[in-house]
Amino acid sequence: MLRTMTFDRLPTPCALVDLDRLERNAAAMSERARRLGVRLRPHVKTHKCVEAARIQTAGEHGGITVSTLAEARAFADAGFADITWAVPVALDRLGECAELVRRTYRFRLLVDHPRAAAELEAFAAAHGLRFEVLLEVDCGHHRSGVDPGDPAAVRLAGAIHSSPDLDLAGILTHAGQSYRCGSRTEAAEVARHERDVMAAFAGRLRAASIAVTEVSVGSTPTVTAADDLSGVTEVRPGNYLFFDVFQAAIGSCRLDEVAFSVLATVIGVYPERRELVVNAGALALSKDPGPVHVDPDCGFGVAVDPTDQRPIPGLRVASISQEHGVLRSDPPLDRRWQPGSRLRILPNHSCLAAACFDRFHVVRASEVVDEWRPVRGW
């Protein structure tokens, strides 16, 4: 049982999750999905914690999205039985996929290449099972997925649809280009494009007598900005539960909605160059450059007061190395900063920063109320 304490007694650097903010973020996204008329299948890669996923799926249909098979196994162990692995299937992991198919109600895989579909089909036939498949579509991010305007995409969908060993569950996309937006208005335009591309492609497939049940979209910027998701069946945002400095910079949230932070201790004070050094570097904050297209001087996170989480004026995380974070002050350093002083840093990218820690200290105000252990590995 966790012994109640205030977080000022925690050794640093450590990861803090503000439970009040997290619960509000979860409730707001659930309500948004209901207003938009879509199912919410949250992505758990941001936190990788069963406890957080239970908060996300409260009142929802219970389906989740994962980025690794380690996540899929851990969440299946915890009773989550409707899982989408939202990365094109790695063909050297089919045995693990088969086991997850057998122990869950639904385990969906992504493909975007005929070779992958053929290998899945052959494996399924040889092992007496069926794989449920989503065809990944590139709606403009250009990372992975089929080109919806290429006739080959329709042929691939048809091959999966007609296979005796595969079930074509539908189509899926991720509008990762939304992270290049500079405002909520721009993200809303990307959301409309994402919707239109997917609805049009689903229409083409149906016109070719290929059944399309699921039309799955999702990113935190597009789902928070979308005004109409006609033709879409589910959304898969993930970062929204924690949010971060990047999301605040592009208009997906306010800074006071960010639920994840890193508590750090000042280990060096250098008034002559207006710098502090803290014990949170790249292995606590990650090296994500942040929203440099919005603010070229954004640095590596926002320093906030450890208690009220208000940004500390004039202080920015200017550079990081493995274990050191250098904070530079615009005005002369305040005398309150001494070795042993503490502050919190809201990271640029909470998903990557969270992945640096083996546990999260869950807090309400200044009290530690729980400890969550995220899944690690692939």
- Which of 264-268, 286-290, 352-356 has the lowest average pLDDT? 286-290
In contact, 264 and 343? CB cutoff 8 Å: yes
Nearest Cα residue to 90 out of 61, 45, 120? 120
- Is pLDDT of 322 > 60? yes
CA distance 233 to 325: 43
- Is pLDDT of 2 > 70? no
- Provide the edge-to-edge strand list for the sheet that holds 214-217: 39-40, 234-235, 214-217, 166-173, 131-137, 106-111, 82-88, 64-66
Question: Which pLDDT band holds residue 3 (cuts at 50, 70, 90)?
Answer: low
Question: Which pLDDT band holds residue 8 (cuts at 50, 70, 90)?
Answer: confident
Question: Which pLDDT band holds residue 11 (cuts at 50, 70, 90)?
Answer: very high
Q: pLDDT exceeding 90 applies to what percent of the chain?
A: 96
pLDDT at 7: 85
CA distance 371 to 1: 10
Which CATH number describes the domain made up of 37-243?
A: 3.20.20.10
The CB density around residue 130, as the number of other CB atoms within 10 Å, is: 15
- Who's near 2: CB < 8 A, 6+ residues apart? 368, 369, 370, 371
pLDDT at 198: 98
> What is the overall mean pLDDT for the chain?
96
Tell me the DSSP string of 271-321.
Answer: GGGTEEEES--HHHH-----STTT-TT-TT-EEE-TTT--EEEEEEEEEE-
In contact, 272 and 255? CB cutoff 8 Å: no
Question: Which pLDDT band holds residue 1 (cuts at 50, 70, 90)?
Answer: very low
Selecting from 2.40.50.420, 2.40.37.20, 3.40.47.10, 1.20.272.10, what CATH number does the domain 255-372 have?
2.40.37.20
Whole-model pTM above 0.85?
yes
- Is pLDDT of 250 > 80? yes
What the block records as the tokens of 327 is 């904070």
In contact, 234 and 39? CB cutoff 8 Å: yes
- Who's near 261: CB < 8 A, 6+ residues apart? 15, 16, 18, 304, 309, 344, 345, 346, 347
Q: Which residues of 14-40 are buried (b: 16+ CB within 10 A; e: fewer)?
A: bbbbbbebbeebbeebbebbeebebbb
Residues in the chain: 378
Using alpha carbons only, what angle is made at residue 350 by residues 324 and 64, rounded to the nearest 5 degrees?
150
For 154-171, what is the mean pLDDT? Answer: 98
CA distance 25 to 259: 8
Domain coordinates in residue numbering, the chain: 37-243, 255-372
28-73 pLDDT, tens digit per residue, is 999 999 999 999 999 999 999 999 999 999 988 889 999 999 999 9
For 107-131, what is the mean pLDDT? Answer: 98
Q: Identity (one letter) of the amino acid at 81? A: A
What the block records as the tokens of 349 is 């990218």
pLDDT at 218: 87
- Helix intervals (H) in the chain: 19-36, 50-56, 69-77, 94-103, 114-127, 151-162, 184-207, 220-225, 245-249, 282-285, 350-354
What the block records as the tokens of 366 is 């200044």
- Who's near 51: CB < 8 A, 6+ residues apart? 362, 370, 372
For 278-282, what is the mean pLDDT? Answer: 98
187-214 pLDDT, tens digit per residue, is 999 999 999 999 999 999 999 999 999 9
Please name the residue that has the structure tokens 């920015």: 316
Same fold across 37-243 and 255-372: no
- Is pLDDT of 4 > 80? no
- Is pLDDT of 114 > 90? yes
